[in-house]
């Protein structure tokens, strides 16, 4: 059990008007910090007012992107209780990502205690509007002031909180996504399965090219052959083809093992919906789209929840998915998942962890 020192803010901030908040731009009154050194391990757990971190310019996180992070949410139920969704999965993934980057693991019970204590302290920041929640961003980073590439001696575990609504400005409206043919997100043996800052930094250029054409995001192909569909970066993808749900396999190590992905696969299997996790090539996608076999496609992730895909663009050709509107299975999955998360539906798998 962590001994968490709490220093409350003397100047609580005004809560935002949620209708004007863009995703991930507003932060609560407090943050959790814990230091690591190879001599002492994790120590000095504390909650302090949210604010800038004292980090040297030589810190490894600033020079070599030595960080891993997570994204999970706290939800306010109709009974005014605050709850988390599968935080154990995020903590497990954070530690798997940390292994890949040679960063220290955080004890899962300590990480959960840190998250729960911080959320409970800032519980008034958990919004109550439709589709609104408190996004939780844990980060492990190397703050070692050393540019010699020996950089995991001194680390910091940080948790910050951000009240959020819909990730996409368009709400639950179908998004258009371009299949990226130039840049690569990762390759086998790389960091694709890890949630580390560098993956997202390398994805920016393609994302900005797409945005300039009015396209929301890019869908990544495997970095080596540019043949196999992998993920969007902010979300995993699923296709319903001739009645079967197909999603890229995790076996390549190049796709993020999404907690929402895993939960949706479980919900589909609960209902005996045929599902396969396998290699899915862009040629197969094109053939299926041309023959009208693609009934629905959606992205899924903590931030994006379940986001219908209305259109995919590949080599300058547009492929409309179904009739371009949200499909019935996509809507059902959105309703089921959010129903469990906000406590409106039973939680048969024990995914909900109460906070207060
Ligand atoms: C999440 O869904 O939690 C993510 O990390 C996506 C983020 C890059 C906005």
For 34-80, how does the pLDDT look when each residue is reduced to its tens digit (9 = 90+)?
999 999 999 999 999 999 999 999 999 999 999 999 999 999 999 99
Residue 169 has pLDDT above 70, yes or no: no
Q: Which atom of ligand 1 is nearest to the CA of 167?
A: 9
Q: Is 341 in the pocket of ligand 1 (CB under 6 A)?
A: no
CATH domain 175-341 topology? D-amino Acid Aminotransferase; Chain A, domain 2 (3.20.10)
Among 70, 31, 35, residue whose Cα is nearest residue 195:
70
For residues 204 and 215, what is the distance between their CA atoms, to the nearest angstrom?
13
* Pocket lining: 234 vs ligand 1, CB cutoff 6 Å: yes
Q: What is the pTM of this model?
A: 0.97
pLDDT band at 159 (very low <50, low <70, confident <90, very high): very high
Provide the mean pLDDT of the chain: 96
C-beta of 258 in contact with ligand 1 (< 6 A): no
Q: What CA–CA distance (Å, rounded) separates 43 from 323?
A: 55
Q: Which atom of ligand 1 is nearest to the CA of 303?
A: 2
Q: What does residue 323 show for φ and ψ, rounded to 5 degrees?
A: -100, 15
Mean pLDDT over residues 257-266, rounded? 98
CATH architecture of the domain formed by 5-166: 2-Layer Sandwich (3.30)
Q: What is the whole-number distance in angstroms between the Cα of residue 230 and the centre of ligand 1?
A: 16
Mean pLDDT, to the nearest integer, of 332-345? 97
Nearest CA to ligand 1 atom 5: 71
pLDDT, tens digit, for every residue of 90-117? 999 999 999 999 999 999 999 999 999 9
Strand, coil or helix: 226: coil
The closest alpha carbon to 73, from 161, 157, 141, belongs to 161
Dihedral (Cα; 200, 201, 206, 210), 10-degree rounding:
70
Domain ranges of the chain: 5-166, 175-341
Beta carbon of 216 within 6 Å of any ligand 1 atom: no
Q: Which residues contact residue 290 at a Cβ distance below 8 angstroms, ignoring those fewer than 6 apart?
A: 319
Whether 299 lines ligand 1, by a CB cut-off of 6 Å, is: no
For residue 170, the model assigns a pLDDT of 67
pLDDT at 151 over 80: no
Mutate to test the pocket of ligand 1, among 22, 25, 68, 71 (most ligand atoms within 8 A of CB): 71
Q: What is the pLDDT of residue 216?
A: 84
pLDDT at residue 233, rounded to an integer: 83
Single out the residue of 100, 98, 283, 310 nearest to residue 186, CA to CA.
100
The average pLDDT across 5-10 equals 98
Distance 292 CA to ligand 1 centre (A): 31
Indicate if ligand 1 lies below 6 Å from the C-beta of 302: yes
- How many angstroms separate the alpha carbon of residue 350 from the centre of ligand 1? 23
């Amino acid at each position: 059990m962590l001994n968490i020192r709490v220093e409350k803010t003397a100047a609580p901030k005004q809560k935002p008007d949620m209708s004007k908040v863009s995703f991930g731009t507003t932060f609560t009154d407090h943050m959790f910090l814990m230091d690591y050194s190879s001599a002492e391990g994790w120590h000095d757990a504390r909650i302090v007012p949210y604010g800038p971190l004292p980090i040297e310019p030589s810190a490894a996180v600033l020079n070599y992107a030595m960080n891993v992070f997570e994204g999970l949410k706290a939800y306010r139920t109709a009974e005014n209780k605050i709850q988390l969704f599968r935080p154990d999965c995020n903590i497990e993934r954070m530690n798997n990502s940390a292994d890949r980057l040679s960063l220290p693991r955080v004890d899962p019970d300590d990480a959960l205690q840190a998250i729960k204590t911080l959320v409970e302290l800032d519980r008034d920041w958990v919004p109550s509007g439709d589709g609104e929640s408190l996004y939780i961003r844990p980060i492990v980073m190397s703050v070692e002031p050393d540019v010699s590439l020996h950089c995991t001696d001194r680390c910091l575990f940080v948790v910050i909180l951000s009240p959020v609504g819909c990730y996409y400005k368009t709400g639950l409206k179908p998004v258009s996504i371009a299949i990226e043919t130039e840049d690569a997100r990762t390759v086998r043996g790389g960091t694709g399965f890890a949630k580390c800052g560098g993956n997202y930094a390398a994805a920016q250029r393609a994302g900005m090219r797409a945005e300039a054409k009015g396209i929301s995001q890019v869908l990544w192909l495997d970095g080596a052959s540019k043949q196999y569909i992998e993920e969007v970066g902010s979300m995993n993808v699923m296709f319903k083809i001739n009645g079967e749900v197909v999603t890229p396999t995790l076996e390549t190590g190049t796709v993020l093992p999404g907690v929402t992905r895993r939960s949706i696969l479980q919900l589909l299997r609960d209902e005996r919906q045929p599902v396969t996790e396998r290699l899915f090539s862009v040629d197969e996608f094109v053939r299926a789209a041309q023959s009208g076999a693609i009934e629905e496609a959606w992205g899924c992730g903590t931030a994006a929840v379940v986001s219908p895909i209305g259109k995919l663009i590949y080599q300058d050709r547009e492929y409309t998915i179904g009739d371009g509107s949200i499909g019935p299975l996509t809507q059902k999955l959105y309703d089921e998942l959010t129903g469990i998360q906000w406590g409106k539906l039973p939680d048969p798998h024990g995914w909900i962890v109460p906070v207060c």
